[in-house]
Amino acid sequence: MSNSLSAFGERTLTYFQNRFLLRSAILLRRWNIAYVRVPKAANSSIKQALYHLVTRGAVTDPAFCDYVAVPGLNQDRTWRRGLGPDVTMVSCARLAADAPDALAFTVVRNPFARVVSAYYDKVVLRDRRMRSLEAVGITRGMSFPAFVERLAEVGDDVIDIHLMSQARLLDAGGRPVPAIVGRVESLDDDWDRIRAAILARGGPQLGALGHTLVRTLDKRPPVAAFYDDVPRLADLVLARYRADFDLFYPDRAMPGSEDAAG
């Protein structure tokens, strides 16, 4: 397939090339904190904790994680317009310009694992079309090698955010905006570190994270198994997400069977 784009893809290109339009950060103005989201990196779990803070207030028990399921929690419009004037979504560029004192945090994920997670969630298990993926030639039911090969051909300017590089999602002016970066691979410890930093600035107590992203684990082999039969696929992912590896995973290690975030 050529790298040509549909009309939908052209609109996507315009959106992603404008750094003030790509809204990656959930800004909680009341507490002056911002979560810069990375899809397929504990994003749903973190949004649960933030939604509880916004709608129910701070928790008293740091171990609390009994969150109510909320339809549309992962949809941007919920955070942009649905939670009142103190909550919005902004681009990293806008966050850096308009709220430079906000405590920004994020959680990233090993790109090898993130690619597998996105493949299973969006290509294997999804029962509805995703126009943003189809626009760049990624279709339901395609093989993992074909999926990775297409990823290698499509740049961040047009790819869906679930497959956009983490470096691009977090960037403003050539550097990552979040002051605190956790990793899925050490999520429990890193979430405690993020919560402690918020408390140290006089912020609210956030709850623990629920495990909302494990639904694919019993349906797929370990991450490394996806790359074992076709070694060049790992090289393609290394090249496609080189900035992510350079910034967050310089050892370029392949995750083991312990990868557990769905």
Pick 16 or 136 by higher pLDDT.
136
Rounded distance between C-alpha atoms, residue 254 and residue 262, angstroms: 16
Q: Can you give the pLDDT at residue 219? A: 63
Q: In this predicted model, what pLDDT tens digit does every residue of 71-123 receive, in sequence order?
A: 999 888 899 888 999 999 999 999 999 999 999 999 999 999 999 999 998 89
Average pLDDT over residues 209-238: 82
**pLDDT surpassing 60 at residue 5:** no
Contacts of 37 (CB under 8 A, 6+ apart): 24, 25, 26, 43, 46, 47, 106, 169
What's residue 157's pLDDT? 86
SS3 label, residue 104:
strand
DSSP state of 219: G
Q: HSE (CB half, 13 Å, CA atoms) of 220? A: 27
- Distance separating alpha carbons of residues 42 and 259, to the nearest angstrom: 12
At 259, is the pLDDT very low, low, confident or very high (cuts 50, 70, 90)? low
Handedness of CA 178, 184, 187, 190 (dihedral sign): negative
Q: What's the number of CA atoms in the CB half-sphere (13 Å) around residue 91?
A: 15
Tens of pLDDT, residues 140-166: 889 999 999 999 999 998 888 899 999
pTM score, whole prediction: 0.88
Cβ contact 103:32 at 8 Å? yes
pLDDT in tens, 165-183: 999 999 988 889 999 999 9
How far apart CA 39 and CA 106 sit, in angstroms, is: 11
pLDDT of residue 262: 42
| Residue 198 and residue 53 in contact, taking contact as beta carbons nearer than 8 Å | no
Residue-averaged pLDDT of the chain: 87
